[in-house]
Amino acid sequence: MIKVIYHQDFTQVYTSDPAAAAGRMEAIWKVIHNQVEKVDASPALPEQIALAHTPAHIDQVFRRGLYDIAALAAGAAVQAARIGLQEPAFALIRPPGHHASADQAWGFCYFNNMAIALLSLHNDGLIKQALVLDIDLHFGDGTVNILGNQKWVQIHNPDARSREAFLTEVEQILSGIQVDLIGISAGFDYHQNDWGGLLATEDYSAIGFMVRKASRTCGGGCFAILEGGYNHQVLGYNVSALLEGLSG
């Protein structure tokens, strides 16, 4: 069973935005709970968060009363990345993170979960090269802001107008890579019944399988963290499909 890092606190409604909507986590957990091994999430350490964000930004998140939930999400991402070095893992978290830059954030994000995870592992000497595959409908500008100038990280945001072209682009991105770890910023708002109206549920399984295959080929690991996805009726099935693919 694939390990899923999760915490009951993620079910709370911490703001009024769609990523914090009541029932979002429950809709996912209801579908996947019998096919996964749950790992309790732990908050990211202050020094881990500080690898990606300025003191002023961290203080702003704290003053908004969102530090605890944002730190818990970031910590779960770190856990998923560490587990991912040995076996695929998924961080079922909110708030999402890929619109959080070093000193500001928007798009329902506060801390950049992916950046904190990869910087933490790199800082600890656990990885030398990494690749971020961001499959969210929206461009992961925060991840690029924080990691874009790091020579040890590749960041890719596929952008296509058909299912076939999207999957082909993912395949091309993963072809011949040599990295220690692949991290998926797993947004599901590209789905046919979500905001993007493009991908089918089975496409997420194909993406997961391609990532798992690529990681095995280069001798690295892989993990994924939840970003967008707002149709609760299909969200759980899309997550389940990705996990099925990652499980090989």
| Among candidate residues 243, 179, 239, 185, the one with its CA nearest the CA of residue 1 | 243
- The Cα–Cα gap between 193 and 232 comes to 10
Peptide bond into 55 cis (omega under 30): no
Amino acid identity, residue 45?
L
* Alpha carbon distances (Å) from 34 to 1, 3, 29, 37: 9, 12, 9, 8
Residues recognised as catalytic: 99
| Among candidate residues 157, 169, 186, 203, the one with its CA nearest the CA of residue 84 | 186
- The Cα–Cα gap between 149 and 159 comes to 21
> Do residues 78 and 120 lie in contact, with contact meaning Cβ atoms separated by under 8 Å?
yes
Amino acid identity, residue 178?
Q
> Do residues 130 and 183 lie in contact, with contact meaning Cβ atoms separated by under 8 Å?
yes
- The Cα–Cα gap between 119 and 85 comes to 14
Torsion of CA 90, 96, 98, 102, to 10 degrees: -120
